[in-house]
Amino acid sequence: MNKQEAIILEEKKVLCIGGANVDRKIQALKHLEYGTSNPALSLKSRGGVARNVAENSGRLGLKTALLAIIGADSEGEWLLQNTKNFVDLNLTELIHGKSTGTYTAVLDIDGKMAVALADMAIYDEVDEFFFEKNLSHIQNAKMILLDTNFPAKVINKVINSCKNTGVPICVATVSAPKTAKLPASLEGVTWLIANHKEAEALAKLEINSEGDFYRAAEVILKKGVERVVITREEQGLIYFTNQGDAGALVPPCVPIMDVTGADDALIAGILFGYLNGLSTEDSCKIGLSCSLITLQTSETVNPDLNQQKLLETFQIYFSKGISYP
């Protein structure tokens, strides 16, 4: 049996492509005062959008692999050790002479991010050769999750491959500046998940009202996306599909420790619902349940997440009228 046949025989996986970072979070102990020193508490956590979605998905029981690059340094080793129990890391490469990506966020007393810095020069090392080398895995995935950490050329090639093969793909926009790396045509994209600022950047319009959220979603759909989700912090999210389904979902109020990673948990939950045959609305409710679980921990991925916890949270807040898979 050659390598190609072995890949096809293997159980298909959700392949997450993009960032794997070390997160450094500094939580203010009182309301932040700018231009002076603030008392704070520091925390190091596993991060990177693709890695976070992969870990959350793995914890939910989906067979998941990560296509990422990390530095051949102690931070990279720490990341591998803390990811390998949930995610197949065979495709994740160690790069000598480059530092593992870091994300440093300053959080206000309420757990909301005040400012964050992304030191991720390592992702510039990802080139078309890296894509070609991994093409058979991309073509044979059950589903692709693609974030916008890698260079535009690579992002473009992954989206094109999915368009040509019909492998479903979910794009996570990551940040407003990185949204600019996405191609003008998003044909072949099954899900696109963006926050308020990322949706503004992608749709090239300001979102100031309820109607503006739907206007932005419509512009994004016109680029060829099948389903778009725009998240909006405590107001939850709106979804809009090219089949004409649309709606707004508002989560319940829960005590918040740290918002970092709530979006990545939401994406993993949406993928879990979608791959289990749920509707767009119900997949989004599963996603919201996962983000509620993440908001209540200071870790970027809640180590207590599992299918049982998801089911309990989902039933408490959203069970009415849904047939859970």
Q: Which residues bind ligand FJF (CB under 6 A)?
A: 19, 21, 23, 47-49, 52, 103, 118, 120, 149, 174-175, 178, 260-261, 263-264, 300
Question: Phi/psi of residue 57, each to 5°?
Answer: -65, -40
Work out whether 251 is an interface residue with ligand ATP (CB under 6 A).
yes
Spatial separation of the C-alpha atoms in residues 228 and 241, rounded to whole Å: 6
Among positions 260-319, residues that touch ligand ATP (CB under 6 A) are 260-263, 266, 288, 291, 295
Are 301 and 55 within 8 A, CB to CB? yes
C-alpha closest to that of 172 among 156, 148, 150, 151: 148
Spatial separation of the C-alpha atoms in residues 285 and 232, rounded to whole Å: 14
Residue 266 binds which one of ligand FJF, ligand ATP, none, with CB within 5 to 8 A depending on kind? Answer: ligand ATP
Work out whether 237 is an interface residue with ligand ATP (CB under 6 A).
yes
**Cβ closer to ligand ATP: 71 or 251?**
251
* Three-state SS at 29: coil
Are 170 and 144 within 8 A, CB to CB? yes
**Cβ closer to ligand ATP: 113 or 180?**
113
Half-sphere exposure of 237 (CA within 13 A, CB side): 30
**Cβ closer to ligand ATP: 114 or 256?**
256
**Cβ closer to ligand ATP: 111 or 141?**
111
Residue 40: which residues within 8 A CB-CB, separation 6 or more?
Answer: 26, 27, 28, 29, 106
Q: Which stretch binds ligand ATP (CB under 6 A): 5-13, 27-35, 227-235, 306-314?
A: 227-235
Q: What minimum distance in Å lies between the beta carbon of 191 and ligand FJF? A: 16
Work out whether 60 is an interface residue with ligand ATP (CB under 6 A).
no
- CA 70 remoteness from chain centre: 18
* Three-state SS at 49: helix
Residue 52 binds which one of ligand FJF, ligand ATP, none, with CB within 5 to 8 A depending on kind? Answer: ligand FJF
The token duo for 137 is 């895995």
Q: What minimum distance in Å lies between the beta carbon of 236 and ligand FJF? A: 17
Residue closest to ligand FJF, measured at CB: 47
Are 86 and 56 within 8 A, CB to CB? no
**Cβ closer to ligand ATP: 32 or 95?**
32
**Cβ closer to ligand FJF: 55 or 226?**
55
Spatial separation of the C-alpha atoms in residues 66 and 261, rounded to whole Å: 17
Per CB under 6 A, the list member of 63, 142, 181, 232 interacting with ligand ATP is: 232
The number of beta carbons lying within 10 Å of the beta carbon of residue 185 is 14
Applying CB under 6 A, the residues found at the interface with ligand ATP are: 113, 195, 231-234, 236-237, 251, 256, 259-263, 266, 288, 291, 295
